[in-house]
Structure 1
Amino acid sequence: MNQDNKVEIVQAMQDYIKKNIAISNFSLKAMYEHIGYSERHAKRLFCELLHMTPNEYVRRTMLTSSTKKLLETEDSIVDIALDTNYETHEGYTRAFKKSFQIGPAEYRKSPRAIPLFVQYPVSSYHAYLNHKERLEMDKNTMICTVTPVEKPKRKLIILRSASAHDYWSFCEENGCDWEGILNSIPEKTDTAAIVELPEFLVKEGTTSTAAGVEVPFSYNTAIPEKYEIIEIDSGIMLYFKSEPFEDEKDFGIAIDCVFKAYETYNPTELGYSYENGAIPKFNYGAFPETGAKLAIPVKKI
């Protein structure tokens, strides 16, 4: 079995879990039957490509889903534990604390940044590694909108890198927990992004590439270990946004769409010019529900 076949099988399992995990009679046995492979073979492929068992993947996914219920509902912790497939409050609390270094009751009372689990599609990374997702404008076209937004003075929580130059190299250097950690911050004003820092914000021994999330200027809550917080001046950001997409494998097309728009768009059509060196640039990635998004600083002319 070649690598493409392995990726296709594991992606099918990820898709099945994402679609069916909230169903009351969800089971991994049904998933194995659905994809047409034995449990032993399916588990081996899953572990080979995702470095965890299907059971661990489901457990981490459900625990992460439960954090939303803790913050957005008044359901009892016992009920949330049962919904998360734990038979007891104690079992759920132990698992929650092991994953997030904080108990569910304390997290509900005082939310803080925690490493939420992100279900990264295996097919996306595989396609990146094999350079198969370059956009061919004559074959694949996506609509990209361009919108200027005035942003107030604010703060940016960042994790720096020593050698990264883009999203994938950042994850290869630092792992991908940063996305779950930053997106768990309740005060965030947008989703986590890969950030290109202007030169004056780059520290010796690091690159201009960092992971970050914007928070209000009034933010004064503790930040995770190894992260730091910097201030960003007010200014205008030009948002390049693709349309949503259905197939997870089309994330590369969406990313290429917004980068192509940024490279070719003339901001003077809206009365702006690019503002290089003052405010970070943001790459928010691409997700089926929202599409891809970039934010580039500009100034009025």
Structure 2
Amino acid sequence: MRKMNFKGKVIWITGASSGIGASLAMQLNNLGATVIASARRTEKLIELREKCADLQNFMVLPLDITDSQSIQKSVAQVRQLGRLDLVLHNAGIAQKGLVIETELDVDRKVMETNYFGTVALTKAIMPMYLQQGYGGFGIVSSFAGVMGIPGRSAYSASKHALHGFFESLKAEHMGCKLNVSFILPGFINTAITAKGLCGDGTPYGKVETSHRLGMTPAECAQDIIKGLQKKRKQIAVGKFEVYLLSINRIAPGLGHYIIKNHPMRRWRRLKSRFDLTIHFKGNKVIERRCTKNC
């Protein structure tokens, strides 16, 4: 299959103000694409633009995907460009908490952002794709989008829902050259867990150890771009955790056991028991301290 060439392509990225989205925007711009970077934090998008190689082909477009008027206004501006080749749905919010301790309002908020916001933007874009006869979507999902993860019920549900929606969309529009890629990041060192919602709706406030030790956003973006170039239907990105997807597909029972008893859960139990404290500088451990039962 012929690889996708990004030079001259128009690519719209949501959630582009930080993390994976920001790295994708910079790298695709460097590859010659006209990048439309969207997020609610306009000032962060402007800062990102200043770091890019081709400022003329980097468009800052404020967008709140939970606001229908913001979506319609943004799509109208994109239409003026005359073409749109690829949309990378990256905007989203995480959640942390057991089912029984997560308030229903939190479930609704996660679904409103991760699912309904993405669906609303897609519905607004599709007339443009149908008119030009082609288009693509890259959905930044998660391992939680193909398997249930403990403590991530709302997040996992929202990502599962996206898979069902885009599978149906692709099946419905066979007459349009519509390419859909599901992007499944594993543990990536971004602030998504820190900004994620606890069961009562408050921010979790810290980056989980599993993510802190994970792949960098820049490395993640590189692997995503390689997958998009090859037009892969599923792009799994991460370190050792990517093997879990194959295990879960071949032996679901074993996959479920690993998820339920994964090393980070054991680590948290150990940390609680011995009151372990670890400090990081980047991905490097710079201090370990044990204050009881040691």
Shorter chain as normaliser: what TM range?
A: under 0.3
More helix by share: 2
